Structure 1
């Protein structure tokens, strides 16, 4: 199953975030949602951070409409907002879609397709308010603003992508340690099946004890290969269209959370990884205590960004 792994040189691009989610590359800049820091940033090629929006209800998923408009989520409200770049920070968001009536948990990751249709995750449970895990769903926001449920019974849906042929949607079910896929037919999500059982990728007794197959964010390259942020394994893993591991990028001592491809030639992999501070036992404790710090790393890859989303 495994091919020869190559060595990667990882460099620090930016630091000082709390927990960077939903990394996106657009028009020469990286955009990242700092969920715990309650801000959305743009980061230029030199690593300079700019706060472009404040989101006191925790931003999470980000995406760009075909016309270039940035849509960002308000996690605790279950609403999407359009960013207005020429308005002052703090007063530059306008309501785009309200998913309160459809979602039972929080908005997670999301993407926007070439037609402006938004696929957005509901993690299912309001875990920051003490609710136990339960299945969520994938919501669909049509370009006319209509909101509907596209897929039910998703177990903590997380990273989400559309394949280069535009025919399939792939998403992580984090705590099931698997990737699932569905066909896209006229905006409908059908024929759900498991794409990759991550427990076969991380199969040792120690891996299983620490659930190292949990995937958070992901992105897809021009060949349809998926870069997966494997949360507890401290690495980004690339799998090909058959589910075979081809590459690994290690980020020791960090929880790997989000990634995307970009840069001038599309061959820079941007990785957001968080480091737990203090004596917290797990990531969730550190998030609740806001005792966590995220760094954006970069590395160069062989296969660049293609026409897939995000």
Structure 2
């Protein structure tokens, strides 16, 4: 089943990623990783802005006290409301960069990394608390990507892209156990990238080189496919005042002849109902 999409922002992002609705500001945040750019888009007014991050940026999320938290090449940094920047957790590793990140129900940031050359096992998933305490949750990761939680917070979904799977863990008090497959992506359908979990507990998965976003019900059944006119669909998130519009980022990196809309931000109005996302507690 397909649905009608609209172009929210026509852009040429090299690696558009990480759409996140900021309810306090009433706008969508999204990034271009390789151009170190943080974008904002206000769907009510159409206003857009772009700022440059200090380094390649894998994710950006709102902070509970105002400002933003950034998953950067060399660690996790804080952007204050006045524009000032400071490191919260600084851990540079040569050849490694940040990738996707998500805020857990307790306000901690679960920040992923990967190697630029995508060497197997070169990435991690770490839990960063508001005071900067960092704990590696998963090592031996290749391309740490989509992370999200069930509405009751008892399950965590996670993607290490080359596995071609969405996995699910039991989640309790910031700890994850009992990793198991939730949904697999068949050959020829692309690779799983970013994900979001809706208010019904269904998991929406963006497919890199798959030109689509898929929705899986809580039991892992595929029940919806939304296709786009570009191959590299990277991530998705619900936004808008009622969290009913699905925003989708895309990329043009590595394409010899990118389609005209590659790198743009898309929206599917009325696609479903998202969950309110917590802000980072730092």
- Compute the TM-score of the two structures, normalised by the length of structure 2: 0.87
Superposed CA RMSD: 2.4
The Cα shift of 1:135 comes to 4.7
**Which of residues 16, 19, 26 in structure 2 aligns to 1:20?**
16
The Cα shift of 1:17 comes to 4.1
The Cα shift of 1:300 comes to 2.2
**Which of residues 237, 242, 255 in structure 2 aligns to 1:260?**
237
- Whole-angstrom distance in 2 between the partners of 1:182 and 1:140: 15
- Whole-angstrom distance in 2 between the partners of 1:277 and 1:15: 19
Q: Which structure exhibits the higher relative contact order, with contacts defined as CA atoms closer than 8 Å and separated by 6 or more residues?
A: 2
Larger Rg: 1
Query: Which secondary structure does the structure 1 equivalent of 2:162 belong to?
Result: helix
Q: Which has the higher helix share?
A: 1
Q: Which residue of 2 aligns with 1:126?
A: 116
**Which of residues 156, 167, 172 in structure 2 aligns to 1:185?**
172
Query: Which secondary structure does the structure 2 equivalent of 1:116 belong to?
Result: coil
Q: Does 1:161 align with 2:151?
A: no
The Cα shift of 1:144 comes to 2.3
Q: Which residue of 2 aligns with 1:286?
A: none
- Compute the TM-score of the two structures, normalised by the length of structure 1: 0.80
- Whole-angstrom distance in 2 between the partners of 1:186 and 1:22: 25
Q: Does 1:48 align with 2:47?
A: yes
- Whole-angstrom distance in 1 between the partners of 2:113 and 2:253: 25
Go from structure 1 to structure 2 and tell me whether the alpha carbon gap of 1:186 and 1:99 turns closer, same or farther (over 3 Å shift): farther
Q: Which residue of 1 aligns with 2:59?
A: 61
- Whole-angstrom distance in 1 between the partners of 2:146 and 2:234: 9
Question: Gaps spanning 5+ residues in structure 2: where?
Answer: none
Question: Gaps spanning 5+ residues in structure 1: where?
Answer: 284-291
Contact 2:119-2:142 within 8 A present in 1 as well = no
Contact 1:223-1:303 within 8 A present in 2 as well = no
**Which of residues 83, 86, 108 in structure 1 aligns to 2:82?**
86
The Cα shift of 1:71 comes to 0.5
- Whole-angstrom distance in 2 between the partners of 1:246 and 1:191: 25
